[in-house]
Structure 1
Amino acid sequence: MPESPSIAARVATTLRDAGPATITDLTRSLAVSRTSVEKALSILETSGMIAGGIAPATGAGRPARRYEFAAASASVVGVDIGAATVRVLVCDLAGRVVRHETHPGITGQTDGAAQLSAVIEHIRAALDGLPPARAVGASLPGIVDDAGRVIASVVIPEWSGIDIGARLRDALGCPVSVDNGVRLAAVAEHHLGAAQHVDDLLYVSVGNRIAMGLILGGVPRRGIHHAAGDIGRLAFRELTDATGELRWRSAPSGAQVFSRARAGDAQAVAELRTFIDELAQGIALLTMTVDPSMIVIGGGLSEAHDELISPLRSALDRSIGMPFPLSVTEARLGAAAAAHGALVLAFDRLGPHIHAVAGMPVPPIEPRPQTTASRKEDPT
């Protein structure tokens, strides 16, 4: 069984999530002794995690000191690295996103080293004028081991076999954790999106490719070879080419097929009907394998909303044919899901580096609208 969090972790979490408090407030809310709270506060003040002030006087006697969580003392970064887009989020230690930027993807770079250099520069630019980063979470398309080494990536083949986590850590001077982008999108939807409080979740990303992220018992499923979810080329062979990329006949892209079908193009309507039926067959197989509480549809094509979700829900019911309803919903975080999942990853795996005490839970990440790469938002 996991160890119970220390008094210092409980005090810090309370101040972070509930706001400033006095020693008396903390003693009552945590149901521990005043001496224990005082020792914890001393530890947290020494580490710089909290600050103490004087509460306004409310009557006779000496005013009590109120302590607050030092959320703005450092930053945490989440970066989603993609072929078309690099998205960078910076949040404070309480999980409030203070900067959200998008940049062009890395495919325009000459080689793997140049691609990585571009990502590093985007992260540094996003941190300009903000407190230094204590940790970075990174999302990328590929199979990634626990250490941050890219085992294989069809989208960024230049990084296959490279320890991207170590390269980023050396360049940025702080701990870095790396994971697969679709898995982190599932993590984000579970933590702050459409699937909060759902312990068993199947996240299906439908974009240029089809991929899956799985949450079981509230924990992301990675698999013994870190490959759980890499199912596009296997479960959807009728829809994809040898690399797992979706094939379209009536238009160059899925978005254009949906657009033409919306306009009444008969060929696009027929292709879309076949696509949804085939998609439902593959998802049905995955669904009956793990029997999740919820199926979340994300990725670029999920933006078709009810043109995809409603017919897919009906096709799934027909495919499975079971006497229970399936909960199928659209992802809430859209294209920013993996970057938010990267923030959750950083807080989850690198919490002791971020907070200077072990045992603090991931904060409730608060999203912020994105800006262009050339503009920075004032974090105040």
Structure 2
Amino acid sequence: MSRPHPSSIAALTVAQLRDAGPATVNVLARTLHVSRTSVENVLGTLIDAGTVTRALTGRAGVGRPSWSYSFDAGSGCVAGVDVGTASIRVVVSDLSGEVIADHSGPGVSAQRGGESKLAAVVDEVREALRAAGIPMEKLRAAGLALPGIVSESGIVLNSVVIPEWSGADIGDHLARGLGAAVAVDNGVRLAAVAEHHLGAAQLVDDVLYVSVGNRIAIGLILAGEARRGVHDVAGDIGRLVLPELRTDSGQISWTNGRTAAEVFSRARDGDAAAQDELGTFVNRLGRALAILVMAVDPARVVVGGGLSRAREEFLSPLRHAVARHLQVAAEILVVQARLGDEAAVHGALVFAFRQRAAQIYGMAPMSVPPITPLGDGARN
């Protein structure tokens, strides 16, 4: 039987202390199924690196101190950023994944040019840290969620929402502005990641996430991993679902109201035209989801985006539409997203921990910590 490599023992030790709390050498050795000597060796290195601290808890025998070891979650921080035209949302967590700052600022629509939009993102991250009293130098990594097609290497291949960023390595530009490592991906894909990691699709490894708001897009989690596809376009289905989508922005154009909320309101008041428009919309979306369900056979369909706020008023007819088009005996769960508008920004945070573990912890690979969102009333 081969012995674990010291680097893997170090990663296991850090993850155990981070996720389960302080422990002694004996407890760590027993939990990790490694020798006490191996644990002692890596703990010395981790203490020197500032990742782990120790405290005297007593004496195990004559002249022999007893130490408890803890993960130093406050030695650095990680940010998740969701960039949109209307707002830039930032969450900041400590190294254990506990969110300690939640900030929202103006979107990029008011900025002219790609550089100004980038500068606005940097400014909002800096403001989130400043408002929380966190020194900028503590930022170790950031994840960025944005509207557009993003390559695996983080290059924005195309964005109709922020066209100035198309073809640019936004992660590299942002890393220079923040002085920290940056990981970039599509916002809906990262929303799916968040719902899988801490939302409505936990413990489910095959998930179809659909965002229905100003636009329509999906995110796929297959075998526990976000699916991007060979050409990085997995999920860009909006124009195929609704021919009424505006070709310049991909936004849904409503006939019986300026917004979906207005159309819903008129439908509630008995407006037949609004009711027909919603019925057509739900039927087309249900058919598209039924096709996707038959293609990938997910355990759960999670519905997020602005229209999910209508709850059962929207979800119930959508469930019926999906079932009607499927015409199979199997019941497909269609549920409301748990994180709502917070999904993409928390997905960006998860993505940063997953993609930039070496910069965050000084070692890789490392598991992603449990993410604990900030409680209501504590946002700035």
- Please report the TM-score for the alignment, with normalisation by the length of structure 1: 0.94
Correspondent of 1:273 among 279, 282, 285: 279
Deviation at 1:370, TM superposition (A): 6.3
Structure 2 matches for 1:73-222, cutoff 5 A? 73-128=75-130, 129-131=133-135, 132-222=138-228
Query: What SS does the corresponding residue of 1:108 show, helix, strand or coil?
Result: coil
Please give the per-residue CA displacement for 1:179-228, whole angstroms capped at 9, x wherever unaligned.
Answer: 00000000000000000011111110000010010111111111112111
- Work out whether 1:303 is the aligned partner of 2:301: no
Structure 2 matches for 1:1-380, cutoff 5 A? 6-56=8-58, 62-128=64-130, 129-131=133-135, 132-234=138-240, 236-243=241-248, 244-369=250-375, 375=380
User: How many angstroms apart in 2 are the aligned matches of 1:21 and 1:353?
Assistant: 25
Deviation at 1:371, TM superposition (A): 6.8
Query: What SS does the corresponding residue of 2:205 show, helix, strand or coil?
Result: coil
Deviation at 1:152, TM superposition (A): 0.5
Deviation at 1:146, TM superposition (A): 2.3
* RMSD (Å) for aligned C-alpha atoms: 1.8
User: How many angstroms apart in 1 are the aligned matches of 2:58 and 2:98?
Assistant: 27
What letter is aligned with 2:179?
G
The alpha-carbon distance between structure 1 residues 227 and 61, as it changes in their structure 2 partners (threshold 3 A), is same
User: How many angstroms apart in 1 are the aligned matches of 2:52 and 2:299?
Assistant: 39
User: How many angstroms apart in 1 are the aligned matches of 2:264 and 2:375?
Assistant: 26
CA contact (8 A) 2:78 2:93 kept: yes
User: How many angstroms apart in 1 are the aligned matches of 2:302 and 2:273?
Assistant: 28
What letter is aligned with 2:337?
A
The alpha-carbon distance between structure 1 residues 186 and 92, as it changes in their structure 2 partners (threshold 3 A), is same
CA contact (8 A) 1:76 1:136 kept: yes
User: How many angstroms apart in 2 are the aligned matches of 1:242 and 1:117?
Assistant: 28
Please give the per-residue CA displacement for 1:242-299, whole angstroms capped at 9, x wherever unaligned.
Answer: 2432121111111111122223332222221121111101111111111111111011
CA contact (8 A) 2:101 2:374 kept: yes
Please give the per-residue CA displacement for 1:26-83, whole angstroms capped at 9, x wherever unaligned.
Answer: 1111121100100111121121111011115699874410000000000001000001
Q: Which moved more, 1:28-37 or 1:123-132?
A: 123-132
Query: What SS does the corresponding residue of 1:76 show, helix, strand or coil?
Result: strand
What letter is aligned with 2:180?
C
CA contact (8 A) 1:204 1:211 kept: yes
Deviation at 1:87, TM superposition (A): 0.3
What letter is aligned with 1:332?
R
CA contact (8 A) 2:200 2:337 kept: yes
The alpha-carbon distance between structure 1 residues 246 and 254, as it changes in their structure 2 partners (threshold 3 A), is same
CA contact (8 A) 2:242 2:284 kept: no
Query: What SS does the corresponding residue of 1:368 show, helix, strand or coil?
Result: coil
CA contact (8 A) 2:142 2:181 kept: yes
What letter is aligned with 2:25?
I
User: How many angstroms apart in 1 are the aligned matches of 2:63 and 2:306?
Assistant: 61
What letter is aligned with 1:71?
A
| Percent of pairs with identical residues | 52
Query: What SS does the corresponding residue of 2:109 show, helix, strand or coil?
Result: helix
User: How many angstroms apart in 1 are the aligned matches of 2:366 and 2:308?
Assistant: 34
Q: Which moved more, 1:27-36 or 1:49-58?
A: 49-58
Q: Which moved more, 1:191-200 or 1:244-253?
A: 244-253
User: How many angstroms apart in 1 are the aligned matches of 2:35 and 2:101?
Assistant: 39
Query: What SS does the corresponding residue of 1:264 show, helix, strand or coil?
Result: coil
What letter is aligned with 1:39?
N
Q: Can you give the 5+ residue segments of structure 1 that lack an aligned partner in the other structure?
A: 376-380
Q: Which moved more, 1:273-282 or 1:330-339?
A: 273-282
Query: What SS does the corresponding residue of 2:311 show, helix, strand or coil?
Result: helix
User: How many angstroms apart in 1 are the aligned matches of 2:276 and 2:63?
Assistant: 79
User: How many angstroms apart in 2 are the aligned matches of 1:63 and 1:309?
Assistant: 60
Q: Which moved more, 1:331-340 or 1:259-268?
A: 259-268
User: How many angstroms apart in 2 are the aligned matches of 1:370 and 1:74?
Assistant: 23
CA contact (8 A) 1:101 1:370 kept: no
CA contact (8 A) 1:248 1:254 kept: yes
Tell me the matched-pair count. Answer: 371
CA contact (8 A) 2:60 2:66 kept: no
CA contact (8 A) 1:100 1:370 kept: no
Query: What SS does the corresponding residue of 1:308 show, helix, strand or coil?
Result: helix
